[in-house]
A = this chain, B = another copy of it.
Amino acid sequence: MSSETPMLIVDCLQYSNWSESIFREMQKGGVSAVHVTIAYHESFQEMVQNLIQWNGFFDRYPELIFPGRTGDDIRHAQAEGRTAIFFGFQNPSPIEGDIGLVAICHQLGIRFMQLSYNNQSLLATGCYESEDTGITRFGKQVIAEMNRVGLVVDMSHSADRSTLEAIELSTRPIAITHANPAWWFGALRNKSDDVLKALSQSGGMLGFSLYPHHLNQGSACTLDDFCKMVAEAANRYGVANLGLGSDLCQSQPDSIVTWMRNGRWSKSTDYGEGSAKSPGFPAQPDWFRDNRDFLKVAEGLKAVGFSSEELAGLMGENWLRFYDESFGPMEA
């Protein structure tokens, strides 16, 4: 990172109530790329409707955002002061039961797909199930197809055994785009040391979450505490395999977290990481409110002792390398 070039910032998970105002905050915050969730529980055709909504954003705000497909799009975004938007699914529901839809989704620009979202899916077990039976027969086929076309396996909401098996089965490095280590904060969504070791040893990436339910002390988590956790993770897993996946859900009404947790699968309300007493979105910590706060995180990481080069990696260059290697067809 030369002194003239501002630090590259890549956020590997957001699901906000998208608007011009948020896109302007991305620009102001110098965020060159965001992995955006476009499906939780949607069918294929419902997901296409979400793509159409994004095509509308791309048409209306070309000076702020454009569709990201490759690592080079991040470089263009940084050079132009815009944000490249990369699409992902938090649940494999859009491929329904059809392996042919994997390639179609990649053609439509999808670059990440979680194999399960909290619950058992057709592919893998989610982290809220009581038993984890690992990757299913269909799941094995889908992982191979995702590897072939360049669609990244994301296990952020999957259970441990399923995650370990996905790491083993996938011939390309996978990602946990938004979670933290369970040794720092024991949320069901945070990941065991075994999982994180296997992930990093296989060249996979972890994106640290800034969603309060994944933070020690929740909304009251301090920047210093968060950054010390990152430093310890770097000791354990190697700094090159780490980045950010904020899980920022900005300006969303609470009905959205209910949708995320319940989709159409439950007639009674599931509160997920919340509770009947606090069913809505938690408040962000005061040092990370929105896209304009990434430099605060960078300051905090510098303060716990990361070098300039390590810091550049954590803030964006590590994801850039991973995007470069992950989104094209598999080499013969």
Q: Which residues of B contact A79 (CB under 8 A)?
A: none
Say whether, besides A44-B45, A52-B98, A107 and B107 are in contact (CB < 8 Å). yes
Complex CA gap A193/B103 in Å reads 44
Say whether, besides A44-B48, A52-B98, A107 and B104 are in contact (CB < 8 Å). no
Q: Which residues of B contact A51 (CB under 8 A)?
A: 104
Q: Which residues of B contact A108 (CB under 8 A)?
A: 104, 107-108
Q: Which residues of B contact A173 (CB under 8 A)?
A: none
Complex CA gap A137/B287 in Å reads 51
Q: Which residue of B lies closest to A108 (CB)?
A: B107
Q: Which residues of B contact A101 (CB under 8 A)?
A: 48, 52
Q: Which residue of B lies closest to A103 (CB)?
A: B55
Nearest-Cβ distance from residue A62 to partner chain B, whole angstroms: 11
In A46-77, the 8 Å CB interface with B consists of 48-49, 51-53, 55-56
- Asked whether A100 lies within 8 Å of B45 as measured between CB atoms, the reply is no
Complex CA gap A293/B45 in Å reads 41
Q: Which residues of B contact A107 (CB under 8 A)?
A: 107-109
In A99-117, the 8 Å CB interface with B consists of 100-101, 103-104, 107-109
Q: Which residues of B contact A48 (CB under 8 A)?
A: 44, 101, 104
Q: Which residues of B contact A104 (CB under 8 A)?
A: 48, 51-52, 55, 108
Choice from B53, B56, B100 contacting A55 with Cβ under 8 Å = B100
Q: How many copies does the complex hold?
A: 2
Complex CA gap A104/B103 in Å reads 15
Nearest-Cβ distance from residue A93 to partner chain B, whole angstroms: 14
Complex CA gap A44/B55 in Å reads 18
Nearest-Cβ distance from residue A42 to partner chain B, whole angstroms: 13
Complex CA gap A48/B103 in Å reads 11
Nearest-Cβ distance from residue A259 to partner chain B, whole angstroms: 21
Complex CA gap A52/B145 in Å reads 13
- Asked whether A52 lies within 8 Å of B100 as measured between CB atoms, the reply is yes
Q: Which residues of B contact A100 (CB under 8 A)?
A: 49, 52-53, 55-56
Complex CA gap A2/B30 in Å reads 53
Q: Which residue of B lies closest to A49 (CB)?
A: B100
Q: Which residues of B contact A49 (CB under 8 A)?
A: 100
Q: Which residues of B contact A45 (CB under 8 A)?
A: 44-45
Nearest-Cβ distance from residue A217 to partner chain B, whole angstroms: 43
> What 10 additional pairs, Cβ within 8 angstroms, besides A48-B101, A55-B100, A55-B104?
A44-B48, A48-B104, A49-B100, A51-B104, A52-B100, A52-B104, A56-B100, A104-B108, A107-B108, A108-B108
Chain A residues at the B interface, C-beta cutoff of 8 Å: 44-45, 48-49, 51-53, 55-56, 98, 100-101, 103-104, 107-109
17 A–B pairs (Cβ distance < 8 Å), ordered by A:
A44-B45, A44-B48, A48-B101, A49-B100, A51-B104, A52-B98, A52-B100, A52-B103, A52-B104, A53-B100, A55-B100, A55-B104, A56-B100, A104-B108, A107-B107, A107-B109, A108-B108
Which 8 A-B pairs have CB atoms at the shortest separation, nearest pair first? A52-B100, A55-B103, A48-B104, A45-B45, A107-B108, A51-B104, A52-B104, A55-B100
